Structure 1
Amino acid sequence: MYGCMKTQLTPTSRPQRRPGKRSRSLLAATVGAAAVVALAAGCASDDDDDNTGTTTAAASVPSMIETSRAEQPTVSAEDTSALVEQSAQTTRLMQSAHIELKVDDQVRGLPVRSVKGDLTSNPAPAAQGEGTFRINNEDVDVTFIVADGQLFTQNDGSTEYKSLGEASKIYDPAIILDRERGLANLIANVKAPESEGTETINGVEAQKVSGTVDAQVLDPIFPTQGEGKFSGNLPVTLYIDAKAPYNLVKLTITVDSGEINLTTSEWQKEVSISAP
């Protein structure tokens, strides 16, 4: 109940004369008051320790609002860590977006080569658009829908969708907006972020930030296997809108064989996706 109580009272020396009833009452009251003071001091000390242990970058990040992207606080573009942290929070609260994903032909091990379409997380994760997926060991151009966790595809020349089963067993673009495993988690886990000035992406002035990210953080969004499986820390570049709420405009992941580029736009637009 009293998790912050660390201070112990030091017993007082035994008085030479046994106190009377009135003296005992006063003594009990005094000790009780001392205990309250000690408890308050202990809690204050704990708070001071927590503040001391906070890094300068983390301390500069304003309090973040969990419920509304529109009310996110303003951060300084010069505070790179705060900028990245706020972009992660903004992305975590994102419910829809348009994306374009392009994977260099030389980058192997991924079940997807390209995606262009819309994503939503409300009322449930879903995606639709066009892309090139690796299906039965072949790169296939399809129109796709992901709904209820299932992947439906329509090949060129076809007028009907067919179900390929669980999207996660092939590729699920809807995972990009997942709060815990998606793009927000990737941004939040960028190590040693450094500012590299600004660059205009799709008409948006963006802060360019470089860093690295562990391959395990990338895996839910960019699952790899075989000889092309990602490992270790990989270089990443974030392009974050210079204005609040600091949407991530573009992400570039660099591997030995090439790049993966993911751009986002049309944030929070109305998107309605259902199974065919």
Structure 2
Amino acid sequence: MSPRRIFIVAVVTALSLVTACSGGGASSTGAALPSGPELVKRAAEAMRTVKSAAFSMETEGTPPVQVKKADGRLSETGDGDGTIQVDVLGNLQEISFVLIGDTVHFKGVTGGFQKMSRSQLAAIYDPSVILNPDRGVVQLLTNALDPKAEAEEKLDGADAYRVSATLSQQVLSTMVPGLGQDVTGKLWIDKATSRLLKADLPLTDGKVLVTFRDYDVPVQVTAPAE
């Protein structure tokens, strides 16, 4: 498989997962939780204003995805950078990527950066959908089915609400090409800001975990040296 094909597969899978609630129980203090629909509505409204974010993705078990790990930064314009570990015929290969304007830079562990156009990548998948309020995470939250508030708990030091929800295949498929079914997962929503902190997405034979951090920290992406 060529480096360009490996990169396309990696970005399509990893950035797509970058992605991804009625009535509640009780918080750790015993107080009633906000309703699930209220929490995902707040989260959708909060994510609509996000200008940038850092993300991490990792897998547990052997879910049917080629990307096993990813870390990166993304702006609302779709510019970003990071690394992806992709399974190619049983071997893990690491790909570095830099997305700037109309140009996509990518490289493997050895060799230099190669280029493709944004339009070539967008013909398969457009990473900007993740923070695009009309297509990405905002729509995923807006269209979450049967959301249920489960608990209030700490997540990496932050107070968060844990919410279960069925995420619509119709919406997810715009970010996860080829997905053929709804996914019932868990979402952690920051109590203070209502932003999405984590998504736990069970799939066949495993799961995908996606976390978000560094919201609205300026993302300055620099083209790699030729």
TM-score tier after normalising by the smaller chain length: 0.7 to 0.9
* Aligned mate of 1:235, from 184, 198, 201: 184
Matches within 5 A, 1:146-225: 146-158=99-111, 160-165=112-117, 166-168=120-122, 173-224=127-178
Deviation of 1:136 after TM superposition, in Å, equals: 9.9
Say whether the 8 Å CA contact 2:85–2:95 is kept in structure 1: yes
Is 1:81 aligned to residue 40 of structure 2?
no
Q: Distance in 1 between matches of 2:71 and 2:161?
A: 24
* Aligned mate of 1:116, from 71, 93, 97: 71
Q: Which runs of 5+ in 1 are unaligned?
A: 1-56, 58-75, 225-229
Deviation of 1:207 after TM superposition, in Å, equals: 0.1
Aligned to 2:4: none
- Between structure 1 and structure 2, the one with the greater Rg is 1
Aligned to 1:68: none
Distance 1:219 1:191, change over 3 A: same
Higher relative contact order (CA 8 A, sep 6+): 2
Q: Tell me, what secondary structure is at the counterpart of 2:68?
A: strand
TM-score w.r.t. length of structure 1:
0.62
CA-atom RMSD in angstroms: 2.6
Aligned to 1:268: 216
Q: Tell me, what secondary structure is at the counterpart of 2:39?
A: helix
Say whether the 8 Å CA contact 2:80–2:219 is kept in structure 1: no
Segment of structure 1 superposing worse, 167-176 or 212-221: 167-176
Segment of structure 1 superposing worse, 110-119 or 245-254: 110-119
The one-letter amino acid of 2:36's match is T
Q: Distance in 1 between matches of 2:204 and 2:55?
A: 24
Matches within 5 A, 1:125-144: 125-133=78-86, 140-144=93-97
Q: Distance in 1 between matches of 2:49 and 2:133?
A: 8
Q: Distance in 2 between matches of 1:134 and 1:169?
A: 22
Q: Which runs of 5+ in 2 are unaligned?
A: 1-21, 23-31
Q: Distance in 1 between matches of 2:82 and 2:52?
A: 14
The one-letter amino acid of 2:80's match is A
Say whether the 8 Å CA contact 2:93–2:109 is kept in structure 1: no
Say whether the 8 Å CA contact 2:57–2:70 is kept in structure 1: yes
The one-letter amino acid of 2:201's match is I
Q: Tell me, what secondary structure is at the counterpart of 2:177?
A: coil
Q: Distance in 1 between matches of 2:99 and 2:90?
A: 20
Between the two proteins, what is the percent identity of the paired residues? 22
Deviations 1:52-91 (A, max 9, x none): xxxxx8xxxxxxxxxxxxxxxxxx9513211111101111
Aligned length: 192
Aligned to 1:97: 53
TM-score w.r.t. length of structure 2:
0.74
Matches within 5 A, 1:12-27: none
Q: Distance in 1 between matches of 2:137 and 2:124?
A: 19
Say whether the 8 Å CA contact 2:74–2:80 is kept in structure 1: yes
Distance 1:261 1:206, change over 3 A: same
Q: Tell me, what secondary structure is at the counterpart of 2:216?
A: coil
Say whether the 8 Å CA contact 1:134–1:170 is kept in structure 2: no
Aligned to 1:20: none
Q: Tell me, what secondary structure is at the counterpart of 1:231?
A: coil
Say whether the 8 Å CA contact 1:210–1:235 is kept in structure 2: yes
Deviation of 1:164 after TM superposition, in Å, equals: 4.1
Deviation of 1:171 after TM superposition, in Å, equals: 5.9
